[in-house]
Amino acid sequence: MSRFPILAPLTFGACLALSPLTQAQDEIKLGFIVKKPEQAWFINEQDAATRLGEEKGFEVVRLAGEDGQEVLSAIDNLHSQGAQGFVICPPDVRLGPTIMRRAEQYGMKVVTVDDRFVDADGEPMEAVPHLGMSGYKIGRQVGNAIADEMEARNWDPDDVAALRITNYELPTAKKRTDGATDALLERGFQEDNIFDAPQQNTDTSSAFSAASPIFSQNGDYEHWVIYALNEESVLGGVRASEQYGLTAEDVIGVGINGSGAAFAEFSREKPTGFHGTVAVSSTMHGRQTAQNLYDWVTEGDKPKANTETTGTLMTRENWEAVRDELGL
């Protein structure tokens, strides 16, 4: 009889010791929270993360976080499901400290994608791993692409106006438009010919509303260039230019992303003022951040503090080849 009281607890204890490890490997669950779940860029990111999860054997919970309260609710949701961490593109980078307090309360690991958290002083939160575009460098690619096309059309910079659709509340957006502006000025563009159109959101309708009065207030210019933080916003500017009566020959719009919105524009029977977009692989962003978080959760390998990507110019002539090359 004396054998069983001793052996049984040891056997049971051994099972307990193995159980958490087995559960950790078999039941990894990670969240992927995006600020605009209806936009093609974020759909691609979440799709890529989901496919990686299927390959690696972990679950990806796709959630929306379009404002601070929705983000916190999403984190609570993930905690209730037993998630070990999440990737997030925040609706407002200034929410970083609040989001991290909630995540730390639940012991969850966090990786940001596209837009980087900032602290109370507006400085990047270096402790939170981030993967995103080099906004300034990509902006310069936009500016140089516009300048190249202006030269190809033999436009005199003195006679060309620029519609700069801005969102300075988002640091990433400011870096992109600043980069484009600097590149244009270096290529001989006139600073006095740049007109700002502050947008309330980052979508096409918001950009259209911001852009429309700029055209009507500056009717002396026959040629226009358009740039913004993303291609959806540039498309809003292009639609506004069309409503004003400008043709594709009078407009050069260059966006950033490389998503379904650009593909649809390039597929139109007749060219529009949307000349191109600097394509970045949203698929890569989604897959890589999910991989980084998974490795951190399962192996303890914390990702780099900041990983920056650049892009490839996509136009009506090469968009299908670039799309296939980048896996968009």
- Dist CA 274 CA 257 (whole Å): 13
Q: Identify the band that residue 310 occupies on the pLDDT scale cut at 50, 70 and 90.
A: confident
In angstroms, the CA 191 to CA 99 distance is 39
Q: Tokens representing 111? A: 């990786």
Beta pairing class for 274-279 and 312-315 = antiparallel
Q: Which CATH number fits domain 135-279: 1.10.1040.10, 3.40.50.2300, 3.40.50.300, 3.30.930.10?
A: 3.40.50.2300
pLDDT tens digits along 48-69: 999 999 999 999 999 999 999 9
CA angle 125/126/131 to nearest 5° reads 95
Q: Using alpha carbons, select from 278, 290, 287, 270 the residue that is nearest to residue 319.
A: 278
Residues 19 and 5: their CA atoms lie apart, in Å, by: 22
Q: Determine the CATH number of domain 29-128+283-308.
A: 3.40.50.2300
Phi-psi region of 110 (alpha: psi -120 to 50; beta: other; left: phi over 0): beta
Helix (H, G, I), strand (E, B) or coil at 326: helix
How confident is the model at residue 2, as a pLDDT?
40
Whether the model clears a pTM of 0.75, i.e. scores above it, the answer is no
pLDDT tens by residue, 101-130: 999 999 999 999 999 999 999 999 999 999
Q: pLDDT tens digits for 169-193?
A: 888 899 999 999 999 999 999 999 9
Domains 29-128+283-308 and 135-279 equal at CATH topology level: yes
Q: Tell me the C-alpha distance between 294 and 24, whole Å.
A: 11
Residue 314 reports pLDDT greater than 90: yes
- For 220, 240, 246, the CA distances from 216, given in Å and listed in that order, are 10, 10, 11
Mean pLDDT, the chain, integer: 91
Residues 268-277: tens digit of each pLDDT: 999 999 999 9
41 by Cβ neighbours in 10 Å (0-12 / 13-18 / 19+) ranks as buried
Secondary structure in 3-state letters for 5-64: HHHHHHHHHHHHHHHHHHHHHHCCEEEEEECCCCCHHHHHHHHHHHHHHHHHCCEEEEEE
Domain ranges of the chain: 29-128+283-308, 135-279
Q: What angle do CA 242, 245, 251 make, to 5 degrees?
A: 60
Q: How confident is the model at residue 26 (pLDDT cuts 50, 70, 90)?
A: low
